[in-house]
Amino acid sequence: MTKLNNDLFDEYKLNNKLLLRNRFVMAPMTTWSANNDGTVSDDELKYYEFRSSGVGMVITATTYMSSSGKGFSGQFYAGDESMLPSLKRLSEAIHSQGAKAILQVFHAGRKANPSDMPDGKTLSASPIAGKREIDNTPREMTITEIQKTINSFKTSVDRAYRAGFDGIEIHGANTYLLQQFFSPHSNQRNDDWGGSLEKRMRFPLAIIKACLVEREEKNLENFIIGYRFSPEENSEPGISLEDTVKFIDVISDLDLDYLHISLNDFEQTSIRNQKDTRRIIEFIQETIKSRKPLIGVGSIYSIDAAKRLLDYNVDLVALGRQLLIDGKTIEKWQNGETPFSCYYSERKNSEFIPDQLHDEIINTENWVPKKG
Ligand SMILES: Cc1cc2nc3c(=O)[nH]c(=O)nc-3n(C[C@H](O)[C@H](O)[C@H](O)COP(=O)(O)O)c2cc1C
């Protein structure tokens, strides 16, 4: 499985389609900073432009395709043709600095804010609240709502293409709607969309397939479609590594262009089976068996860590928080310099961090290493 020519700073062609100048990716990160009408704000454009000069590819903050899918205040919207100019400005900001641009699309499901919902109720697979105190109890989606949601993801392909993006990433991770359908905790349906593992897979699979069909129908063969997943849940019942391995085995045979694991630490071991000392990423690679490129992520704060991640045979290395701390990290590593290692409030403006994102960083304990 050893990959040749895998220096982090060498060019890399993603699934033989999209040439990237190196193997670094900016991980998708929500900024809470869009305009009230759902368009991307000037502050966000500057934030992206600043971070697009070093990495090979930028995956945007997640966006939503239907009003029931909105997850955050200040989230930009992609579910309507009127958003096309806003989306174009975003892809252009990223391209202007030489990075490729991938639009991440999601539906928040029960993690939406009920006050943002048209009828005050969030939607999910089943009427079950999440585990946090603030979590609301959603309404079970009807079959019509399921079909409409699948269709809203389908429309993202052509819209993202026309907005100048090089691809989309379907967000199946981090406990949002796709994961809520896959999880035996949040999905307790007993129709075709829940129950057995095969039925819990059905909703994310239907979304993936709808997007792949749309790409084919519109003749967009070079347009990238990736999929992000979280490997486990610590709830009981919850998604196990065994479930994930079966799902990944199935989607590795589809026409997706890459898979993107979501981990807080790339060397993480199982949170459900603490006796198992193997890295999750090893299980996943053994399942994929080189059928798909894999993006790895999670607490990469040094070039040595990035190299260690590459040793797990990942194709691309994604950085999130380190790029909030220092947007020029990649260039500095390439030049043998040391980037900043903590978030300094006084560097907010020189790093082009939007106000709302700054507030989240400052107010969330133990999230981003910080000083000042
Ligand atoms: C401020 C912030 C916002 C995030 N928003 C998203 C998001 O919109 N979509 C997503 O898939 N992951 C999101 N994540 C998770 C990151 O993509 C990444 O997986 C995580 O931060 C671990 O990588 P890191 O240690 O390099 O930061 C977010 C993380 C942070 C810090």
pLDDT of residue 5: 45
Ligand 1 within 6 A of CB of 60 = no
Q: Is residue 352 one of the residues assigned to a domain?
A: no
Q: Is residue 361 one of the residues assigned to a domain?
A: no
Q: Is residue 302 one of the residues assigned to a domain?
A: yes
d(CA 267, CA 297): 9
* Percent of the chain whose pLDDT exceeds 70: 98
Residue 312 — left, alpha, or beta (φ > 0 → left; ψ -120 to 50 → alpha)?
A: alpha
Q: What's the CATH number where 317 sits?
A: 3.20.20.70
pLDDT of residue 132: 86
Structural domain boundaries enclosing 235: 12-327
Q: Is residue 339 one of the residues assigned to a domain?
A: no
How many other CB atoms are found less than 10 A from the CB of residue 236?
8
How many domains in the chain? 1
CA of 229 to the centre of ligand 1 (A): 12
Average pLDDT of the residues in 119-131: 95
Ligand 1 within 6 A of CB of 299 = yes
Q: Is residue 347 one of the residues assigned to a domain?
A: no
CA of 56 to the centre of ligand 1 (A): 17
Q: What is the pLDDT of residues 59-96, one digit of tens each?
A: 999 999 999 999 999 999 999 999 999 999 999 999 99
Q: Does the pLDDT value for residue 125 go beyond 90? A: yes
| Cis ω before 237 (30° cut-off from 0) | yes
Q: Is residue 360 one of the residues assigned to a domain?
A: no
Q: Are 247 and 260 in contact (CB under 8 A)?
A: no
Q: Is residue 337 one of the residues assigned to a domain?
A: no
Q: Does the pLDDT value for residue 2 go beyond 70? A: no
Nearest protein Cα to ligand 1, atom 1: 29
* 372 band by pLDDT with thresholds 50, 70 and 90: low
CA of 219 to the centre of ligand 1 (A): 32
Ligand 1 within 6 A of CB of 152 = no
Average pLDDT of the residues in 101-112: 98
CA of 142 to the centre of ligand 1 (A): 30
Average pLDDT of the residues in 15-31: 98
* 296: helix, strand or coil: strand
Ligand 1 within 6 A of CB of 173 = yes
Say whether 176 is catalytic.
yes
Q: Does the pLDDT value for residue 46 go beyond 80? A: yes
DSSP 8-state code for residue 117: S
Average pLDDT of the residues in 313-318: 98
Q: Is residue 350 one of the residues assigned to a domain?
A: no
pTM of the model: 0.98
Nearest protein Cα to ligand 1, atom 14: 29
Q: Are 297 and 260 in contact (CB under 8 A)?
A: yes
Ligand 1 within 6 A of CB of 58 = no
